[in-house]
Amino acid sequence: MKPVLGIETSCDETAAAIVCDDGRILADILFSQVREHAAFGGVVPEIAARAHLRHLPDFVRQVLERTGLSVRDLEGIAATSGPGLIGGLIVGCQFGKGLAMAEALPFVAVNHLEAHALTARIPGLAEDGLPFPYALMLLSGGHSLCMGVAELGQYERFGSTLDDAVGEAFDKVAKLLGLPWPGGPALERLAEGGDGGRFALPRPMLHRQGCDLSFSGLKTAVAQMARQQAAWNDSDKADLAASFQAAVAEVLADRASHACGMMRLRHPAAGTLVLAGGVAANRAIRAAVAGAAERQGFRLVAPPARLCSDNAIMVAWAGIERLRQGYRDGFDFRPLPRWPLEALNRVVA
Ligand code: KG4
Ligand code: ZN
């Protein structure tokens, strides 16, 4: 199989990559628009769409140049076409379709969640490879879900957040603590020196049946705590950050444990839990989830941080998985701002 070009523009990362089906990454460009949005404390959709439009054509030219390939040398083109911010999705999906149409190549409209779900299958990432089926926890700024991945295009949701995504909760609590956006990595750094046992915070959903998550109550509890004390010195802030992180890690470990249990019921042979999404970069969370998986007799596979957060390598890989099975989308595919993973089940089944 020839290499595949992947395009990612669903949120605030503009990215292009060329990947082979043996897992070799021939070229990869990732531009995070953090500086464009930082002043607003979050992603501004219109600014994001314009930035994607400004950068994407050049990035695609550059990844081709770096590999010495022309579009004709590709197996196909895969572009994230949902879910996400519609402006960015239009840029990536239309650009990908245009390029594929011009060279009569297959086009794959990639579901961004499927790309996260399949990343750990890139050869070389998981020891001894990662066959289907496996359990998955996807923890990012926009999504928090637990699922069973039975095979390509067969997904079962075990649970998801009832309110905020976990990354969103990190970002909001970081803001309360006066940290810059995006707050997750800054909050983790601050928590390093803190005492996670100092503040008693709630553990939403702990020991509840299933795999649903909820973070808004925890976030409100942190906000109330922050208001109780007039002056917060650096050490107080570090303790609050550590206490918040400890609460999230404990809840996620409990949910991971339930996800492994639900997976075993449906697929007795399954023995792997995959952790994905930007929040998977958090070391306290990784450790807590790994411990929970181990107690359930599951191994934990978590791709390196750069592949956990948004990137084009995972999009190219999802394209490879689908093209290998002879799948392709029409040039009339319209980007879908809402596109649950389960919607794919009908297409492939
Ligand atoms: O997967 P991702 O890059 O983008 C989305 O698709 O949302 O995830 C970004 C989210 C942000 O909310 C960010 O604050 C959070 O992941 N994040 C972290 C860490 N690194 C990124 N949260 C906690 N600890 C981290 N180290
Ligand atoms: Zn993502």
Q: Which atom of ligand 1 approaches the CA of 10 most closely? A: 6
What single DSSP character describes residue 148? E
Ligand 1: centre distance to CA 32 (Å): 12
Mutate to test the pocket of ligand 1, among 12, 140, 218, 306 (most ligand atoms within 8 A of CB): 140
**Residue 266 CB neighbour total at 10 angstroms:** 13
Torsion of CA 295, 296, 301, 307, to 10 degrees: -90
182 C-beta closer than 6 A to ligand 1: yes
Ligand 1: centre distance to CA 308 (Å): 9
Q: In what order do the strands lie in the sheet with 76-82?
A: 25-32, 13-19, 4-8, 76-82, 107-111
42 C-beta closer than 6 A to ligand 1: no
170 C-beta closer than 6 A to ligand 1: yes
CA angle 15, 17, 20 (to 5 degrees): 155
pLDDT of residue 41: 85
Residue type, 93: C
pLDDT of residue 346: 65
Ligand 1: centre distance to CA 199 (Å): 24
Rounded alpha-carbon distances, angstroms, from residue 54 to 31, 50, 91, 93: 12, 6, 10, 15
8 C-beta closer than 6 A to ligand 1: no
pLDDT of residue 10: 97
6 C-beta closer than 6 A to ligand 1: no
pLDDT of residue 230: 75
Question: 């976990």: which residue's tokens?
Answer: 166
Mutate to test the pocket of ligand 1, among 33, 166, 181, 279 (most ligand atoms within 8 A of CB): 279
Nearest ligand to the CA atom of 34? 1
C-alpha 84: how far from chain center: 12
- What is this structure's pTM? 0.95
pLDDT of residue 226: 87
C-alpha span between 74 and 84 (Å, rounded) = 26
Ligand 1: centre distance to CA 215 (Å): 15
Q: Is 253 helix (H, G, I), strand (E, B) or coil?
A: helix
What single DSSP character describes residue 197? T
Dihedral sign computed on CA atoms, order 97, 102, 107, 112: negative
C-alpha 38: how far from chain center: 20
Q: Is 164 helix (H, G, I), strand (E, B) or coil?
A: coil
pLDDT values of the chain reduced to their tens digit, one per residue, 349 residues: 999 999 999 999 999 999 999 999 999 999 999 899 988 988 999 999 999 999 999 999 999 999 999 999 999 999 999 999 999 999 999 999 999 999 999 999 999 999 999 999 999 999 999 999 999 999 999 999 999 999 999 999 999 999 999 999 999 999 999 999 889 999 999 999 999 999 999 999 999 999 999 999 999 999 999 888 778 899 999 999 999 999 999 999 999 999 999 999 999 999 999 999 999 999 999 999 999 999 999 999 999 999 999 999 999 999 999 999 999 999 999 999 999 999 999 655 4
Nearest ligand to the CA atom of 113? 2
Q: Could you give the residue ranges of the DSSP H alpha helices within 10-127? A: 34-38, 45-67, 86-102, 112-118
**What residue owns the CA closest to ligand 1's atom 22?**
184
Ligand 1: centre distance to CA 173 (Å): 13
Ligand 2: centre distance to CA 197 (Å): 31
DSSP string, 105-129: --EEEEEHHHHHHHGGGSTTSSTT-
C-alpha span between 5 and 3 (Å, rounded) = 7
Ligand 1: centre distance to CA 185 (Å): 7
**What residue owns the CA closest to ligand 1's atom 23?**
184
Ligand 2: centre distance to CA 205 (Å): 24
152 C-beta closer than 6 A to ligand 1: no
The most distant pair of C-alpha atoms in the chain lies apart, rounded to whole Å, by: 65
24-53 as b/e, with b when 16 or more CB fall inside 10 Å?
ebbbbbbbbbeebbeeeeebbeebbbbbbb
